[in-house]
Structure 1
Amino acid sequence: MVRVITQQTFNEAVRENADVLGMSFEEALEETIKQFEAQKVDLSNISKQVLGDPIDETPIRDAIRELENCNRDKKESKDIKEYLIILKEQCDKGIEYKVLAGKTGAYHQILTVLLNNKGNKDLALTGFKTMLALMTKQPDLLDDRGVEVIVEFLNIEQDLEILKLCLKWAKECCIMHEMNRQKLYDANILSKLKVLLEDSNSDVLRAVLGILRALVLDDDIRVEFGRAHEHARGIASETLPCLTSLLNRFKGDENVVNDLILTVSNLLVRNEFCKQVAEEGGLELIHEVMAEYGQNDKISRQCFKLLKALAGNDDCKAKIISKGLGPHIAAALNKNINSVSVATSGLACLAALCLRCPENSKALFEVGLPEVILQVMKIYPKDKSIQKTGSWAIRNMVSRSKYQCGHFIELGAEDILKEALKNFKECEYDIKSALRDLGCEVELKEEWTGKGGLLNNVKND
């Protein structure tokens, strides 16, 4: 079970190490982090900045008290706005200020402001900005009342600025917090997001896509089993046709294209979803995107990830190459060869496309992929991810297409792989498998052997 602590506990531990052990604050901070990590304490929501004197709590406490008075007595909105701004400025100073504000009741007072002033755009904007300042990296504050506010404000008729802030708040609530994701999903936020997908400009669309991806995260170490797969399945069932059509509608906007492809990749958790994307014209659209944005490293990386996900369906795997994507894959990998992340994604994509598919291997061989694979591995001899995924790609290309082995050997594949074997013992199985399938001499380790003899049947009396 992962342990969590408060910012105050962390701060006090830093000061105690500084006072008792006579350390500088920098040394005390480093020592405190080591101590808590050794105890398996989650420090993801803790500010790691060097802490000096205790923070001045007065501005935060005064602002919250005045907000409470204003909410109770229905005072002028200008007074409320003034205290919201003070609270936001305090929260912007760091996580310890956010934690203090949260403990002192800021969340409840800001929610009350939002609920009591729905028709006041200026006050609502300030309220959402203050809520974001309070809850960024502090999602634990969200409760059922907050979920209701989020869902209520996600309305297509809503003011555009307020809508974008509400979407941003919802996304922050989902990051590293499984229970918040489940609360929002169970509150049917998806029905609101679907409407916004269909009738929004690019800014709102990107914000909606960000929430869809956040709902399928699995990043909360405090929860043993999450519902990322279930959420992805539900979202894909409801939105995949729309997302595919949006890719066609916004294909001239590279930021939206990048976000759409990334989102679709995260939703392909079942075989039928891959087939659905292909049936909706997704492969043709990826073809167009790669032809248009082949030199864009971000989009190329997302395209590789999407193609790898689609290759999980055997029919899609064959169609990806038959639709003429092979040359675009080679070109994108070549053009972005100086990006480690793109190269790794591209090699993993190739490995998936060639897995148990000699027809794909033949087509990719004919457009020069062996040269590209080995060139990438030569450029990054010390990068484990490149050498590992490169080994996968080589193995899957030649395993059922032995006529390619000679060409790979001529290009220096054996020397590259043996050098990688020296550098990365943890990738021994992957690299040796590639060497074996190339026909190279390699000593394989037998993972398990039986001891012989007969098994005894034990009878219970």
Structure 2
Amino acid sequence: MRTVPKSYYKHFSNSEQIDFQKQSSLITLPQPRAHPFVPKDHPFFVRTDLTAHEMGPPKTVRTISQEAFDEVVKENMEDLGMEPTEALQDAIQTLSLQGVDLSGIVKCVPGESSLKDNPLIQSLERLKQLDLNSKDKFSDEDLNEMMGLFDKLIELCGGNEGSVNAAVATKNGGVELVCSICYKMRCGSKRVLDSCLKTMALLVHDVQSTETFRTGGGPKLLVNILIDGNEDPEILNSGFAVVAASATGNEVVKESYMELKIDELILEILSRQRNDSIQSLYDAIRVLLTPDDDQVVASQVYGYARRFAKIGIARALVHSLHAGLSSPSLISASIALKAVAVNDEICKSVAENGGIDALLRCIDDSGLQGNKTVARICCSLLSKV
């Protein structure tokens, strides 16, 4: 094991962090009154009015470029006389001990494979060519080829090594590329757009990728796609899967969707007779109302839940429960309703709209059918309302 030469540190960078100063309205805690018996200069005085920024910035992550990583492996072979496989493993271990995040790095054994041989990179590069060659729309021939390329990306990013491949795709501009193609596909082939959205849902897998999605105008683009395709269950299902993925762990993305009035769009879709095929819609509700961003102190999701209930989403979700065990969305709707029911007023409205009666019937029926999953989910919701 060795230390990375200082010349390589120029390749390291800190991952993009959310600017807490710009979000002070989100995360500043209310100013408490000073305790009358403990002066501020007393050693036991503890400040409780710290903002998230004052509490300390989030941990930074050191990263390295693909080129710099390959150089470290090459140096192991040329300067230290290591075999290719040994050189690769040593580079991985050494950089990991240095605290370098290697996610998104393609780890190739020199002489046996290269970055260009990676099928994921090949698919991305071909999509980039098609995107650059097109102006405002794609030809039918391009669309057919893109369909196959997206299917390949879905296979690679959704399999056993899906998270690893998704990180590689993100590091190589996958999120920006898919956003660009989605923009051009809004009025194009719905089949290709559906595959494009499914790919996007796999690529936005962490804070860095969701931030890339946000800064590239992803939320607005996605909401427009959902509005345009609000009669197409497949587009809606794939689109709301992207909503759920991109809003997970990112408070700012949640806020972006709420500013775009996604709650009104959700209500419009829920108000239709049949929504069983749009399972991701319920996942999106749950994620939007879950305070899962550890980079902020005070989440706004409680206010979002009240807003959801005020416009009628709670009532619409209760209506979904009345179908009972025959509805494939029963579990998802129950989990979503639990996320909406954040105070006594909302819980009371759930009961007044027959929610408790519907839950009791579901629990009885699940007992008769031996469906423990439904029984557990319904009991959990019942205990909350």
Is TM > 0.5 for Structure 1 vs Structure 2?
A: yes
Q: CA deviation at 1:273?
A: 1.4
Q: Deviations over 1:315-370 (max 9, x none)?
A: xxxxxxxxxxxxxxxxxxxxxxxxxxxxxxxxxxxxxxxxxxxxxxxxxxxxxxxx
> Is 1:305 aligned to 2:368, yes or no?
no
- Which structure 2 residues correspond to residues 127-166 of structure 1 after superposition, within 5 A? 127-137=196-206, 138-143=209-214, 145-155=217-227, 157-166=230-239
- Which structure 2 residues correspond to residues 310-459 of structure 1 after superposition, within 5 A? 310=385
The answer as to whether partners of 1:26 and 1:50 remain within 8 angstroms in 2 is no
Q: Distance in 1 between matches of 2:90 and 2:68?
A: 13
Q: CA deviation at 1:123?
A: 3.5
Secondary structure of 1:123's match? helix
Q: CA deviation at 1:230?
A: 1.8
> Is 1:246 aligned to 2:320, yes or no?
yes
Q: Distance in 2 between matches of 1:161 and 1:301?
A: 29
> Is 1:66 aligned to 2:125, yes or no?
no
Whose radius of gyration is greater, 1 or 2?
1
Q: CA deviation at 1:151?
A: 1.7
- Which structure 2 residues correspond to residues 203-222 of structure 1 after superposition, within 5 A? 203-222=276-295
Match of 1:440 in 2: none
> Is 1:198 aligned to 2:198, yes or no?
no
Structure 2 counterpart of 1:64, which letter? K
- Seen in structure 2, the aligned counterparts of structure 1 residues 186 and 54 have a Cα distance that, compared at 3 Å, is farther
Structure 1 counterpart of 2:382, which letter? L
The answer as to whether partners of 1:139 and 1:173 remain within 8 angstroms in 2 is yes
Q: Distance in 2 between matches of 1:24 and 1:121?
A: 47
The answer as to whether partners of 1:88 and 1:133 remain within 8 angstroms in 2 is no
The answer as to whether partners of 2:105 and 2:168 remain within 8 angstroms in 1 is no
The answer as to whether partners of 1:107 and 1:131 remain within 8 angstroms in 2 is yes
Q: Distance in 2 between matches of 1:69 and 1:149?
A: 21
Match of 2:180 in 1: 109
- Seen in structure 2, the aligned counterparts of structure 1 residues 235 and 66 have a Cα distance that, compared at 3 Å, is same
Q: Distance in 1 between matches of 2:60 and 2:292?
A: 15
Q: Distance in 1 between matches of 2:176 and 2:381?
A: 44
- Seen in structure 2, the aligned counterparts of structure 1 residues 63 and 205 have a Cα distance that, compared at 3 Å, is closer
The answer as to whether partners of 2:266 and 2:281 remain within 8 angstroms in 1 is yes
> Is 1:55 aligned to 2:99, yes or no?
no
The answer as to whether partners of 2:175 and 2:200 remain within 8 angstroms in 1 is no
Q: Deviations over 1:300-321 (max 9, x none)?
A: 22223223322xxxxxxxxxxx
Number of residue equivalences: 300
| One of 214, 229, 245 as aligned partner of 2:302 | 229
> Is 1:275 aligned to 2:348, yes or no?
yes
| One of 117, 127, 142 as aligned partner of 1:79 | 142
Q: Distance in 1 between matches of 2:269 and 2:231?
A: 11
Match of 2:189 in 1: 120
- Cα RMSD over matched residues? 3.7
The answer as to whether partners of 1:11 and 1:51 remain within 8 angstroms in 2 is no
Q: Distance in 2 between matches of 1:166 and 1:125?
A: 8
The answer as to whether partners of 1:81 and 1:126 remain within 8 angstroms in 2 is no
Structure 1 counterpart of 2:247, which letter? C
Match of 1:95 in 2: 166
- Which structure 2 residues correspond to residues 15-26 of structure 1 after superposition, within 5 A? 19=76
Q: CA deviation at 1:217?
A: 1.9
Q: CA deviation at 1:188?
A: 0.2
Q: Distance in 2 between matches of 1:305 and 1:33?
A: 42
Instruction: Give the TM-score, by structure 2 length.
Output: 0.65
Q: CA deviation at 1:33?
A: 5.5
The answer as to whether partners of 1:88 and 1:129 remain within 8 angstroms in 2 is no
Q: Distance in 2 between matches of 1:47 and 1:24?
A: 19
Q: Distance in 2 between matches of 1:198 and 1:2?
A: 43
Secondary structure of 2:135's match? helix
Structure 2 counterpart of 1:246, which letter? S
Larger helix fraction of residues: 1
- Seen in structure 2, the aligned counterparts of structure 1 residues 49 and 254 have a Cα distance that, compared at 3 Å, is farther
Identity among equivalent pairs (%)? 18
Q: Distance in 2 between matches of 1:105 and 1:308?
A: 43
Q: Any unmatched runs of 5+ in structure 2?
A: 1-57, 158-164
The answer as to whether partners of 2:123 and 2:152 remain within 8 angstroms in 1 is no
Structure 1 counterpart of 2:384, which letter? A
Q: Distance in 1 between matches of 2:251 and 2:379?
A: 28
Match of 1:428 in 2: none
- Seen in structure 2, the aligned counterparts of structure 1 residues 54 and 271 have a Cα distance that, compared at 3 Å, is farther
- Seen in structure 2, the aligned counterparts of structure 1 residues 29 and 66 have a Cα distance that, compared at 3 Å, is same
